[in-house]
Structure formats: structure tokens, C-alpha cells
Amino acid sequence: MNFLPLGLFAAGLLFCLVCHLSVLYALAFGYVVFFTYGRYCRLSVRELLGLSWQGIWTIRMVLMVFGLIGLITATWRASGTIPFLVYEAGQIISPHAFLLLTFLLNAMLSILIGTSFGTVATMGVICMSIGNVMDCSPVLLSGAVLSGIYVGDRCSPLSTSALVVAAITKTDLFANLRRMAVRAAVPVLLSCLFYGAAGFYTASGAVDLSVLDRFQEDFVFTWLVLLPAVVVIVMSLLRIAVWKTMLVSIAAALGLCLFLQDMDWRTLLPMLLTGYETADPALSKMLNGGGLLSMAQPAVLVALSCSYAGIFEKTDLLDGIKGGIRRLARMITAFGCTIVVSLASVAIACNQTLSSIMVQELCQSLYDDKEEMALALEDTTIVLAALVPWSVAAAVPLAALGASSWGIAAAVYLYLQPLWSWLRTSFRKREQGA
């Protein structure tokens, strides 16, 4: 019986994907299915609603960060921070090298500050704006950003994902980081080669950058406009919480809007809600976007998916799966099985934390070494979460970038990391067997 709700949910997801409907419909349908199953398991309506709210309440900080991302992407545009960086970068960066540079810059910043969301809201948005000027492919560009932000999300000492994995597997964080760095070398190198080649063959050699001169007509440019970006870097190095860092950066950007760019509150307040919109049509493709409403859909998506968590815990929904997992592991190795379970968990849970907990619970019996279990989680659940379009790991960055889900197809690092780790573990097992 416990396979039926999961099957119905999977069918709902597939239907929405085939019919090009919002996955919100599938998630809402899934909630009805799991709620009904909870009633079948003799849980009261009040208890089920309480469990649902409990799941949402656990991610209240995540939802707040979503709102801050919407605000920071709008205020950085209005304050001149993004226009200034786009203007300066456009003068010196070759279009042929920009895809590779986008991947490397986002990877380095994500390692530095330890957050994919913080990186995409700052460096990711900047790179997208510059890339639009250079007429780069938006699919390749968003793929390069997605790849870069999850290099650090996986193996930065400041990453909450790395901390969660270390906590649930009871392993040493820094020992995990050293092993993750070794495993990441080949996937990162291959990603560099891909984006370098893609940039060389797809970029136009003749890009008209004259439109950038219009920035100087619409904005006051001084080095002061870099203050919001400097705040993010400095406070991250000081290991100050992401939400506090973002709040200070937003405050700095608002100050620049009012006192440097000469905006008034009547213009500023609606912008915080709906996003920045330039009056110059020539600049709209590069600058328009951000605002609280831009993050509304991802927030609803995550809230719905997290409402499932309590129901899963109170029912036997996942119990019957463990036997099938052990049989699958004998066919495709423990790591291969972890990949399959991770994709299924992310599709249901839609976030890295809950998925990591589910995968650790379902797959821990496959690993004798808890350190290997930790690496398996980092190389599967943490990166594969960004390949599921309706998961928070994919939906939030894409929303911040204003990009379509096709960007996932070009996020090659997210494919290479689990594939390389699978090949490594399979080869090592074969050597041990010999």
C-alpha cells in the first residue's frame, strides 16, 4: 500500500512535465495524496495539519533568505552596483572567455562564502547581465552559473550543506572537505574545458558594447557603488550569518539608491516588491528583474514540499523501500544505488537537507565506512538536487537569474561530479575484488 502514494505522486509529476504545467500543481496534488494516506494510517486531520505546518516552520529561515535574495537582486541593480560591474567588465573581458570565467568566478565565490544562494544572487546575477551584453547563450550562461555555485556549496568549509552532511553522518567536517577536494579535481577540470570550448565556438567575435555607454547616462558611477558587494565578501569572511550579511548589503544598496542615485521612496518601495525596471528599453534585458515577487513561486514550491516531511515521519511510507534498495545496490553498486535514491528523494522532498536525511536513512546500511557515506551524500544528493527543476536547489537560482530550466542541461559539473565518483568507486571495488 505504501508504494501507491509515491506512485501517484510520480505520475502527477510526469503528467505536469509532459503537459508543460507548473510543478506547483503536482506538488499540490502530492500533498492531497500524502494527506489522504495519513488519514488511511489513522492520523487525525488536526494532527496532519500540525505535521504539515511543522515541516514548513522548520524552513522559515530559508523562506526569509528567499525574500532577501529578491531584495538584494533588485537593490544591487538600482544602486548602480551591477551596472558598474557590467560596464567595467564589458571593457576588458573577451566574449570567447566569458563562459569559462563565469564558471570560475561563481565557483571561487561559492567556496569563499559557502552559499549557492548568496553566490547566485550576487556574482551569478552580475555574470548573467554581462553575458546578455556579450550576446552569450542564456542556456550555457545559466548552466555555467549553476555549475559554479555548487562547487562551493558542496565543499566550502562555510557551506551549510557540508555541515549538515557531517552532522547526520557523524564525521569530521574538515576530513570530509579534504577528500571532497580530491574528488572534485577532475570534474572541475573537465567543466573548465567544456565551458572554454563552448565559449570559443559559440561567442560572437564582434559584440557591440556601445550600449554600455548608456549606463553612465542613467547612473552615477563611483567606487562607492561597490560597497554592497564588498559588504558581502567581508562579512562572509568573518563567518557572519548569510541573512545578516544580506540585510547589511541591502541597507548599503538602499543608501546608495537614495543618496547617490537620487531615487525617492515613492519609486523605491514598489521596486522592492516588483523588481527593478529601467526606463531605457535598450538596457531592460540586462537590468530588469529582482524583487520580492520574483521569489514567490520558489517559496511556495519549497513550502509545499517541506509540508510532506512530517507525514513521511509519522507513516510507514518509506519502510518498504529499503529491501528494494539493497537488491538494487547488488546490481549497480552502492554508489550507483545512492544516485538513484538521491534523485527520487530530491524529486519528493525538493530540498537538499531533507533529501540528505532521507538518503542517509535509506542507504546507510550499504556503506561500512561512515566517511564514505558522507562523500556519497556530497557527490549525489547535494549536487543532484540542482538537476531537479522543481527542487529549491534549481528553482531559486534560476528564478534569481531570470533563466529557464533549460540551463540545467548545460550545468555539466552537476553531471560530472556524481559520474566521476561512481567510476572511481566502481573501479576501486573491481580492484579489491581482483
Question: Looking at residues 112-123, what average pLDDT do you find?
Answer: 75
pLDDT at 210 over 80: no
**Residue where the block lists cell 501517484:** 8
Top pLDDT among 402 and 287 is at 402
**What are the counts of helices (DSSP H) followed by strands (DSSP E) for the chain?**
24, 0
Contacts of 47 (CB under 8 A, 6+ apart): 38, 314
342-360 per-position pLDDT tens digit: 988 888 777 787 788 788 8
Pairwise CA distance, residues 371 & 376, whole Å: 9
Residue 324: pLDDT band by 50, 70, 90 thresholds? confident
Top pLDDT among 158 and 428 is at 428
Pairwise CA distance, residues 98 & 105, whole Å: 10
Question: Looking at residues 200-226, what average pLDDT do you find?
Answer: 74
41-79 per-position pLDDT tens digit: 888 899 889 988 887 787 677 778 778 878 888 898 888
- Average per-residue pLDDT in the chain? 82
Pairwise CA distance, residues 39 & 200, whole Å: 58
Query: Contact 155/379 with Cβ under 8 angstroms?
Result: no
C-alpha angle 310/313/317, rounded to 5°? Answer: 115
Question: Looking at residues 304-325, what average pLDDT do you find?
Answer: 74
Q: Whole-prediction pTM value?
A: 0.71
Q: What's the confidence (pLDDT) of residue 434? A: 47
Q: What's the confidence (pLDDT) of residue 257? A: 92
Please give the DSSP secondary-structure letter assigned to residue 122.
I
pLDDT at 2 over 70: no
Residue 205: pLDDT band by 50, 70, 90 thresholds? low
pLDDT at 125 over 60: yes
